[in-house]
């Protein structure tokens, strides 16, 4: 329903783009491992003095897979609770499909918000990561 016809970036390109960004802002890459039933694509950690920041993320090919990605994040959240931040990572999405997802899937929107999940759009071509939903 929300699937865009042309795939501009591969999952590997999206992963490299987000990893490059996270390294640039001071995170160390960790080897993703199963967290309960979920295997994240991205797992990073950063320490600032006594504060520790950790993010796990799952990458999906487009907005049509967003619900599946949020389910994976919810599974990980059952194990890690509030110890880390959670990000659904997508390639650039047309505004039409993004708004259609938010409006049509209203019952999911509140769950996403209640769990403090983030939604990032990654454009490797422009070396850009935008957080459209949530905050770290």
DSSP per residue over 75-131, as a string? Answer: HHHHHHGGGSEEEEEES---HHHHHHHHHHTHHHHHHHHHTT-EEEEEETTTTEEEE
Confidence (pTM): 0.87
37-61 residue pLDDT tens: 999 999 999 999 999 999 999 999 9
Tell me what pLDDT residue 18 has.
Answer: 96
CB 60 within 8 A of CB 90: yes
Res 115: pLDDT: 81
**Is residue 55 within 8 Å of residue 27, measured between CB atoms?**
yes
* pLDDT at residue 31 tops 50: yes
How does residue 95 score in pLDDT terms, banded at 50, 70 and 90?
confident
Q: What is the mean pLDDT of residues 104-124?
A: 79
What pLDDT score was predicted for residue 107? 63
Cα 5 to Cα 28: distance, rounded to the nearest angstrom = 35
């Amino acid at each position: 329903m929300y699937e865009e016809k042309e795939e501009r970036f591969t999952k590997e390109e999206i992963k490299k783009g987000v990893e490059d960004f996270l390294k640039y802002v001071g995170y160390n890459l960790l080897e993703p491992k199963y967290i309960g039933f979920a295997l994240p694509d991205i797992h990073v950690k950063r320490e600032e003095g006594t504060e520790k920041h950790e993010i796990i993320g799952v990458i999906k090919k487009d907005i049509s897979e967003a619900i599946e990605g949020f389910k994976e994040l919810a599974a990980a959240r059952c194990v890690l609770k509030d110890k880390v931040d959670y990000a659904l990572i997508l390639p650039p999405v047309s505004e039409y499909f993004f708004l259609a997802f938010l409006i049509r899937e209203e019952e999911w929107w509140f769950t996403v918000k209640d769990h403090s999940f983030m939604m990032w759009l990654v454009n490797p071509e422009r070396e850009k990561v935008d957080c459209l939903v949530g905050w770290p």
